[in-house]
Structure 1
């Protein structure tokens, strides 16, 4: 197994690829948006570690206190993404990346590590069955079956902020909260916006551009939160077919 990994730094950020986005053959404006977002996060202890190859093999995590999610806890790491795709699957890379995160957390005296999951695996969330094999357990839930998974080192556990369990807003229009943590967000939002404009569908877009806005969100969040008719629908990126299913409700 190739164990040549590299961490993104302020010095190499401009020249290193961002892993998942290399699946796209067309230029993504989301790449620049992601780089800018990362440039502001790396000095906060944010970690983006990847295989030093042209492949989708990486883990991305941050101190929970500065992670853009409505989750609270004492001295935890939060895992945004852990992905191993394509020909690199089955080579132990996922285990190596998780072990690195665990070792890093212990070295820095963290209380543990947490990540967003669901009773039924969501397409844009990291593999929670793998996380459970690594010792993660469900420590909090929402009424719509989202789960908070945690690996605790000292018996303490994080939890969803109370506002994240609200899952309702007053606005009845299609409403999307988003940030630029994921490079696919930019184009996805643009596609939805164009479709809604073409079909006269009212749309409210709310960019989560500060840590406080992320902590105060009325839903679970891993870079996206979609509401319709005032009700929370999903954290998944939507293609047009998925959008149409929501609009039929």
Structure 2
């Protein structure tokens, strides 16, 4: 299988898999590449199939991962995605096994990932991970779970602030980072919808590791709150937002 890792040497000419065909996401691709360039010095890994397709895994040392998860000596998986015609060909297995081998080579304590009891868009599939020995080690509410593959018996956990799942404001509030290239366009769609429908919108940009570790809810790169309560990690467009508000 022909996989490559995106590095400082090839990032300008390589595509980012999940946003390779839609022009409306080109700003997001630019922002994501700028974000990645800064993360590479922190041992961040973006590995993909060397073809024009959505087949990749992205992970980083948990201590440097922009998520409200804490633990020692773990790798955190942001995203594992195999899409469309590439499904069923063993690519997901190969990518996950690569990350596991990498963790062992670095003498890590294990790997972890945020997922959900019920399959949720923009989170990795729990059922697939369980096949490789991942186990639930923490949870928030009835749906969101932290899975870990531990090599030494230690386990990571959600940060205490993530368990709040509430904020002080009733306004539609979105915490967002630039780790996902879909986010800038989602922000524009949400802004337009809220302007046209007279909805007060608060945007909280997560632009430091410290902010990411202290988001008051589940967060992989996006978290939506409304009427003080956490609602979803689902990226919003106008259609999904209308349904949520209604």
TM-score (norm 1): 0.97
Superposed CA deviations along residues 19-47 of structure 1, whole A, max 9, x for unmatched, are 01024255521010000110100110100
- Equivalent residue number for residue 217 of structure 1: 215
- Equivalent residue number for residue 43 of structure 1: 41
The structure 1 segments of at least 4 consecutive aligned residues displaced by more than 4 Å after TM superposition are none
Kindly state the Cα deviation for residue 64 of structure 1 after the two structures are TM-superposed: 0.2
Distance (Å, rounded) in 2 between the aligned partners of 1:224 and 1:150: 21
Alignment partner of 1:102 is 2:108? no
- Equivalent residue number for residue 21 of structure 1: 19
Superposed CA deviations along residues 133-166 of structure 1, whole A, max 9, x for unmatched, are 1111110001242000100000000000010010
Q: Call closer, same or farther: CA 1:113–1:27 in 2, change over 3 Å.
A: closer
- Equivalent residue number for residue 77 of structure 1: 75
Distance (Å, rounded) in 2 between the aligned partners of 1:239 and 1:122: 16
- Equivalent residue number for residue 151 of structure 2: 153
Distance (Å, rounded) in 2 between the aligned partners of 1:98 and 1:120: 21
- Equivalent residue number for residue 198 of structure 2: 200
User: Secondary structure at the residue paired with 1:20?
Assistant: coil
Distance (Å, rounded) in 1 between the aligned partners of 2:129 and 2:191: 34
Report the number of matched residues.
246
Superposed CA deviations along residues 158-209 of structure 1, whole A, max 9, x for unmatched, are 0000100100000110000000000000100110011101111100001000
Alignment partner of 1:31 is 2:36? no
TM-score (norm 2): 0.98
C-alpha root-mean-square deviation of aligned residues, in Å?
A: 1.0
Distance (Å, rounded) in 2 between the aligned partners of 1:17 and 1:240: 27
Distance (Å, rounded) in 1 between the aligned partners of 2:243 and 2:134: 33
- Equivalent residue number for residue 235 of structure 1: 233
Q: Which runs of 5 or more residues in structure 1 are unaligned? A: none
